[in-house]
């Protein structure tokens, strides 16, 4: 484990990392359920160290807490288990970063986050808009979480970047929900002007990256972001990041953990950013 592991202890004022080993809402390939534990292994790998690029030694960060993996009895109860665990952690004044799992997990997480942060903004990095009303008769598909979130009013603003699979249905959905979509074809220059008032939840689908940078995902969509562009965004975003998730990593397609190390790098820098933003406001 990356950090002192005590899932049964009540923790307060901590920065919690929570694993969600769920991939049954994935439309094309399973495998993302193995992601949380593989990302932890990569995080702790001696091939790197525990310092963020911004100068924080995560190995010395007392408030960092591994909350373990969410468990559930059946597919039908998985989302309520995720929301319940997230609510418990957030009620104790913790910040929460989740490791998916397929992207469907963002809905049950945000449903808990929005209760604590009512004016929530979401920044969503992905090759896909994930706005399907449903996919393959599954309204909780990994291609639908942001339709559910916006229908329920859990985010006052949704900004998407990295998008390169827009279709007519999802374009209609984006208009309906007033989503601010930054498509890859238009370049990433627009992102530098982004400003957020209020809390920001950052959802990183690893397929936002070009498959050259992150081949260990289920959907290889060429023409994506570089690892550096995501890191720069994490470091320089104008807003207060209060938590987020890293999803769609598929260890089954990641033979030497190249993509796992990318996920672990994003986790380190996200922890550093959430920690710094919290310090700046306390």
Nearer to Mn ion, 56 or 158 (CB): 158
CB of 102 to Mn ion, least distance (A): 8
The span of 30-38, 128-136, 249-257, 258-266 binding Mn ion (CB under 5 A) equals 128-136
CB of 275 to Mn ion, least distance (A): 25
How far is the CA of 199 from the CAs of 75, 130, 228, 241, 270, in angstroms?
31, 22, 24, 6, 14
Nearer to Mn ion, 94 or 104 (CB): 104
How many CA atoms within 13 Å lie on the side-chain side of 141?
Answer: 18
Would you say 60 and 142 are in contact if contact means Cβ atoms under 8 Å apart? Answer: no
The span of 17-25, 57-65, 109-117, 126-134 binding Mn ion (CB under 5 A) equals 126-134
Burial of 23 (0-12, 13-18, 19+ CB in 10 A): buried
245 belongs to the binding site for Mn ion (CB under 5 A)? no
Would you say 273 and 241 are in contact if contact means Cβ atoms under 8 Å apart? Answer: yes
d(C-alpha 87, C-alpha 81), whole Å = 10
202 belongs to the binding site for Mn ion (CB under 5 A)? no
Q: Which of 126, 210, 245, 277 touches Mn ion by CB under 5 A?
A: 126
Q: Which of 23, 130, 210, 269 touches Mn ion by CB under 5 A?
A: 130
Q: Which of 23, 66, 205, 254 touches Mn ion by CB under 5 A?
A: 205
d(C-alpha 235, C-alpha 215), whole Å = 24
CB within 8 Å of 121: residues ≥ 6 apart: 155, 156, 157, 158, 159, 196, 197, 198, 199, 200, 201, 239
The footprint of Mn ion on residues 89-108 (CB under 5 A) is 103
Q: Which of 3, 17, 122, 127 touches Mn ion by CB under 5 A?
A: 127
The alpha-carbon radius of gyration of the chain (Å, integer) is 17
Q: For Mn ion, what does the binding mask look like between residues 26 and 65, x meaning CB under 5 A?
A: ----------------------------------------
23 belongs to the binding site for Mn ion (CB under 5 A)? no
Nearer to Mn ion, 51 or 252 (CB): 252
207 belongs to the binding site for Mn ion (CB under 5 A)? yes
Q: What share of the chain is helix, strand, coil (3-state, %, to 5)?
A: 40, 25, 40
Nearer to Mn ion, 111 or 128 (CB): 128
Q: Which residues bind Mn ion (CB under 5 A)?
A: 103, 126-128, 130, 205, 207
């Amino acid at each position: 484990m990356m950090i002192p592991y005590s899932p049964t202890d009540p923790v307060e004022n901590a920065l919690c990392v929570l694993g969600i080993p769920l991939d049954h809402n994935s439309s094309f390939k399973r495998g993302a359920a193995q992601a949380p534990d593989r990302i932890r292994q990569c995080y702790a790998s001696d091939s790197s160290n525990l310092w963020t690029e911004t100068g924080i030694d995560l190995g010395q960060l007392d408030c960092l807490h591994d909350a373990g993996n969410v468990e559930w009895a059946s597919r039908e109860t998985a989302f309520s288990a995720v929301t319940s665990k997230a609510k418990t952690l957030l009620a104790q004044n913790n910040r929460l970063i989740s490791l998916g799992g397929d992207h469907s997990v963002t809905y049950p997480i945000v449903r808990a986050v929005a209760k604590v942060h009512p004016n929530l903004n979401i920044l969503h990095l992905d090759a896909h808009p994930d706005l399907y009303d449903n996919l393959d008769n599954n309204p909780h598909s990994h291609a639908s979480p942001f339709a559910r979130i916006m229908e329920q009013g859990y985010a006052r603003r949704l900004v998407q970047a990295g998008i390169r699979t827009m279709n007519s249905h999802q374009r209609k959905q984006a208009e309906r929900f007033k989503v601010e979509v930054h498509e890859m074809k238009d370049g990433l220059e627009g992102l530098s002007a982004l400003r957020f008032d209020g809390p920001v939840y950052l959802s990183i689908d690893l397929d936002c990256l070009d498959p050259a940078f992150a081949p260990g995902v289920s959907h290889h969509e060429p023409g994506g972001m570089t690892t550096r562009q995501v890191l720069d965004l994490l470091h320089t975003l104008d807003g207060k990041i209060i938590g987020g998730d890293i999803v769609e990593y598929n260890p089954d397609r990641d033979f030497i953990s190249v993509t796992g190390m990318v996920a672990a790098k994003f986790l380190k820098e996200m922890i550093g950013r959430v920690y710094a933003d919290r310090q700046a406001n306390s």
